[in-house]
Structure 1
Amino acid sequence: MTSGRILPTLLRSIQGQRIPITRPKWPQPTTTTTTPTLKSTTTTTPPPRRFTTSPPRRNDPRRQPADDPGFQSIVDNPPELVRTGKRHGPGLIILAIIPITAFFLGTWQVKRLAWKTDLIAKCEDRIVRPPLPLPPRIDPTAIADFDFRRVLVTGRYRHDQEMLIGPRMRDGEQGYIVVTPLERKDDPGATILVNRGWISKKHQDQKLRPEGLPTGEVTVEGLLREPWKKNMFTPDNRPDKGEFYFPDVKQMAELTGSQPVWVEQTMNPDYFTTLEYEQKGVPIGRPAEVNLRNNHAQYIFTWFGLSLATSIMFWLVVKKPPKDITRRVRMNKNW
């Protein structure tokens, strides 16, 4: 056999052999017990010794809670039934405040309903009375007692001091409210402000509505009114530019030299007459009726309903029993 064949044969024989690997055994001490009668020997194997007898360190994973000398078992304390977490939070306080607040608001709306009903009754009584001739000089503080009172005024319009308040919508069309000072008996101190009515935006220029500018002495029948107030969304008037967004009676009176008295011209034309006025640019006055809104009954129902609903919700939240899953039996009182 050549040397080229001997070497592979030896390698294959070595690879095919399996050499068993055995763990080394530590020498075990033996104890011999000799009985005087039988004279036999008994050998026992002690448990394996640890390499060290020191206690486990603090971070040792083998360390158990019982290895701590101060450890106290939970079985040493009496059992106690507790709830996990808080049963009610700050939301319960808010839920308790809502029905109380809603009840007070509903009570306040009851008083407002009585006040508004009485006011509408007074205004309707004033509006059905015959028109009252308006005196030349009027105390502005007494106008509130004559609100919605029908009056008659005779004088001449000062169209050169005309003011347009707007924009104002009527039947979906944009326009303006025409306010014109009315001079009476050649007395500048007796001049008042007359709300003549609504015109469309296309007749803003006086040249486009000559029929809406009466000349000479005219008699106006209207309502002595306190005009509406400005809200937070309405911009301020700019009289230097001739822009008015709400009727500021004192401002307009100072601008025109008239009394701070506001009269709304009334008329009740039929449908075809209204269309004719609109086409010619003649101001369309308001009907002689009380248009005060009275929604306090709806507010009462809303607030008292909210108070009742939130009261029931509060009672259900307070009386609702805890779920079984939130109950735990804990043995430690200081858990």
Structure 2
Amino acid sequence: MRITARLAVIAVLGLAGAAGFGALGIWQVQRMVWKRDLIARVEARIHAAPVPAPGPSLWPGVAAQDYLRVTATGHFEHERETLVQAVTELGGGFWVLTPLRAADGFTVLVNRGFVPPERRRRDSRAAGLPEGPVTVTGLLRPSEPGGAFLRHNDPAAGRWYSRDVAAIAVHAGLDGAAPYFIDADASANPGGWPVGGLTIVRFRDHHLVYALTWFALALMVVLAAGFVLRWEWRRRPAGAEP
């Protein structure tokens, strides 16, 4: 291969590599902007005054309202509660998801909070099972379908690893259930159980580090290609055809 052709191939490969890494860096910058906008919106939602839990007419777009602070009034259906395995700052145990028959006519699952294994049975926390009207305030959360990592929900065996609203509603025989659930706030329940307010609001934001890494790789490719080009040019035989 002539020296000119060889140098052209090296230059093209270098530019292609640098362009690819540079594009990945730009993509990470865009992701960073999106993520920080999301964090700002969520922070505004969780500290805002609660709004009524969305009714059926608002369900189509409810997935975009994650972490919206909402309130709902109704009656709990404790006999239809579902326990979902959980690991929290209080240790391992279960989330207690109880249907709330809202005064507006629909049903919404409420994650009332955490209970340890010894409080799994309802009769072990009878004081925390209100029978009359209740008002719940918490964060709107979208359904978590499919189960957890390497663990699938098994409704028949009563083993739940994720808060799959649709599956829980079918298993519990709930009609007109909202496609979201409410993570109850830290308001104390009679008897101390379940313990609410354990929602973790945390977003990973390493996009700037990733972007700088890709840009650094792009620069390294440019420098490496320049070094090779210079070396190839210098080592060409005297009088060689270009």
TM (norm. structure 2) is: 0.75
Worse-superposed segment, 98-107 or 173-182: 98-107
Q: Matched residues in 2 for 1:96 and 1:229: separation?
A: 44
Counterpart among 31, 52, 75 of residue 112 in structure 1: 31
Change (3 A) 1:290 1:138: farther
Counterpart among 80, 89, 108 of residue 192 in structure 1: 108
**2:230 matches 1:319:** yes
- Pairing of 1:120-269 with structure 2 (within 5 A): 120-134=39-53, 136-166=55-85, 168-171=86-89, 173-185=91-103, 190-228=106-144, 233-256=149-172, 257=174, 258-267=177-186
How far apart are residue 193 of structure 1 and its match?
0.8
Q: Aligned residue for 2:217?
A: 306
Letter paired with 1:284: G
Letter paired with 1:313: A
What secondary structure sits across from 1:235 in the alignment? coil
Which structure has more relative contact order (CA 8 Å, sep 6+)? It is 2
Change (3 A) 1:299 1:211: farther
> Deviation per CA, 1:117-148, whole angstroms, max 9, x where unpaired?
22222233333332112355453212134332
How far apart are residue 183 of structure 1 and its match?
1.1
How far apart are residue 222 of structure 1 and its match?
0.8
Any conservation in 2 of the 1:148–1:224 contact (CA below 8 Å)? yes
Letter paired with 2:197: G
Any conservation in 1 of the 2:91–2:116 contact (CA below 8 Å)? yes
How far apart are residue 192 of structure 1 and its match?
0.5
Gaps of 5+ in 1: 1-86, 329-335
Change (3 A) 1:224 1:172: closer
Any conservation in 1 of the 2:45–2:68 contact (CA below 8 Å)? yes
Q: Matched residues in 2 for 1:213 and 1:94: separation?
A: 68
Any conservation in 1 of the 2:147–2:160 contact (CA below 8 Å)? no
Letter paired with 2:112: R
Any conservation in 2 of the 1:234–1:245 contact (CA below 8 Å)? no
Q: How many residues align?
A: 230
Change (3 A) 1:123 1:97: same
Q: Matched residues in 1 for 2:114 and 2:17: separation?
A: 45
Any conservation in 2 of the 1:194–1:262 contact (CA below 8 Å)? yes
> Deviation per CA, 1:50-89, whole angstroms, max 9, x where unpaired?
xxxxxxxxxxxxxxxxxxxxxxxxxxxxxxxxxxxxx99x
How far apart are residue 322 of structure 1 and its match?
9.7
Letter paired with 1:179: L
Any conservation in 1 of the 2:78–2:129 contact (CA below 8 Å)? yes
Q: Matched residues in 2 for 1:198 and 1:179: separation?
A: 9
> Deviation per CA, 1:299-326, whole angstroms, max 9, x where unpaired?
22222223323433343344335999xx
TM (norm. structure 1) is: 0.56
What secondary structure sits across from 1:209 in the alignment? helix
Q: Matched residues in 1 for 2:209 and 2:221: separation?
A: 18
Q: Matched residues in 2 for 1:251 and 1:140: separation?
A: 17
Gaps of 5+ in 2: 1-5, 238-242
Counterpart among 297, 300, 314 of residue 208 in structure 2: 297
How far apart are residue 206 of structure 1 and its match?
2.7
Q: Matched residues in 2 for 1:233 and 1:162: separation?
A: 23
RMSD, matched Cα: 3.8
Q: Which has the higher helix share?
A: 2
Bigger Rg, which one: 1
Using the aligned pairs only, state the percent identity.
Answer: 33
Change (3 A) 1:232 1:171: closer
